[in-house]
């Protein structure tokens, strides 16, 4: 079944650790995990396994099946089955960024105008998690890992490498992420990028804040996780056959990289990036 992208038979198991072997290193602000909340877990599993070469394993969590995606044997994401009240409500990816004190961060979010969508919860072998809404309503996960965080130089094809947040007021959003989550923020200086601000921590660029596209009808504030791929053209060629759609065609961006946005068959969206000549925005000045 795994060859078809469907999850293996569910078995009782804890959530996978964020870092294995365990470390004492924490990298606040780093995107360390992402969950796809969807009412169509099998379709989503088949799509991402076929597209990115991920493998899927279903584990039992208090009577509910949770699918873990692994990239080269390393867990990178999950699928949380969700019954949406409205059929038109699409699947949604929510990324989790590392924090060093999740309770203090959640408190700051509330004081700065954000919302608490999911209170702090303890997960065996994983750590503490919460889901908050930023100043414009974008849901973002927070994760204080009990096993430490992956190294910043561990990004390989098939793993999350960047996130982009599309908002109406970029300055206000940048202030929110700086004050609530401790990101350093700087105006975007590359003319070939649409981001207005770059968010960084510990000397590494983590993501960007960009205005909601004016030329996209009904565009709303949203969060977009970006996965690194080895060959963008070959990856995108697989999308239609797997039931997905290319929303933003591949185009060159900064540092010699190429970027595209895709829609999966269940309504979830992610970005794909190919770094040319070992370019990586996380290591740029």
Q: At what angle do helices 102-111 and 170-181 cross, to 10 degrees?
A: 140
Alpha-carbon distance of 228 to 198, in angstroms, equals 18
pLDDT, position 9: 44
Please name each of the domains of the chain with its CATH number: 2-145 (3.10.180.10), 160-283 (3.10.180.10)
Question: What pLDDT was estimated at residue 7?
Answer: 52
pLDDT of residue 87: 55
- 6 near 56, Cβ under 8 Å? yes
Degrees, nearest 5: CA angle 123-126-128? 60
Taking a C-beta distance cutoff of 8 angstroms, is the pair 201, 186 a contact? no
Question: CA 168, CA 177: separation in Å to the nearest integer?
Answer: 14
Is residue 82 within 8 Å of 38, Cβ to Cβ?
A: yes
Question: Model's pTM, two decimal places?
Answer: 0.88
Q: Which of 151, 129, 153, 131 shows the shortest CA–CA distance to 140? A: 131
Give the residue ranges of the chain where pLDDT is below 50. Answer: 1-4, 6, 8-12, 278-280, 283-285
Q: Which residue has the tokens 């000397």?
A: 203
Tokens of 116: 């608490």
pLDDT of residue 223: 94
Listing DSSP states for 223-240 in one string gives EEEEEE-S-HHHHHHHTG
d(CA 128, CA 174): 25
């Amino acid at each position: 079944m795994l060859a078809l992208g469907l999850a293996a038979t569910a078995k009782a198991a804890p959530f996978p650790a964020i870092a294995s072997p365990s470390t004492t290193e924490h990298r606040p602000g780093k995107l360390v995990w992402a969950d796809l909340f969807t009412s169509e877990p099998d379709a989503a599993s088949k799509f991402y396994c076929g597209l990115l070469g991920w493998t899927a394993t279903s584990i039992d969590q208090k009577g509910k099946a949770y699918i873990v995606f692994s990239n080269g044997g390393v867990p990178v994401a999950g699928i949380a089955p969700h019954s949406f009240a409205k059929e038109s409500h699409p699947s949604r990816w929510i990324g989790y960024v590392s924090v060093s004190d999740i309770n203090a961060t959640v408190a700051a979010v509330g004081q700065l105008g954000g919302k608490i969508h999911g209170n702090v919860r303890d997960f065996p072998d994983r750590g503490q998690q919460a889901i908050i809404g930023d100043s414009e309503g974008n849901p973002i996960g927070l994760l204080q890992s009990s096993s430490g965080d992956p190294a910043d130089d561990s990004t390989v094809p098939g793993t999350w490498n960047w996130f982009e947040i599309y908002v109406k007021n970029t300055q206000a959003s940048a202030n929110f992420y700086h004050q609530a989550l401790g990101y350093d923020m700087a105006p975007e200086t590359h003319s070939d990028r649409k981001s207005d601000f770059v968010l960084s921590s510990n000397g590494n660029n983590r993501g960007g804040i960009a205005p909601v596209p004016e030329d996209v009808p009904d565009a709303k504030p949203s969060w977009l996780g970006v996965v690194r791929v080895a060959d963008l053209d070959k990856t995108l060629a697989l999308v239609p056959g797997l039931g997905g759609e290319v929303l933003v065609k591949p185009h060159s961006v900064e540092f010699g990289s190429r970027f595209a946005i895709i829609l999966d068959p269940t309504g979830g969206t992610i970005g794909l990036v190919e770094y040319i000549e070992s370019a990586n925005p996380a290591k740029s000045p």
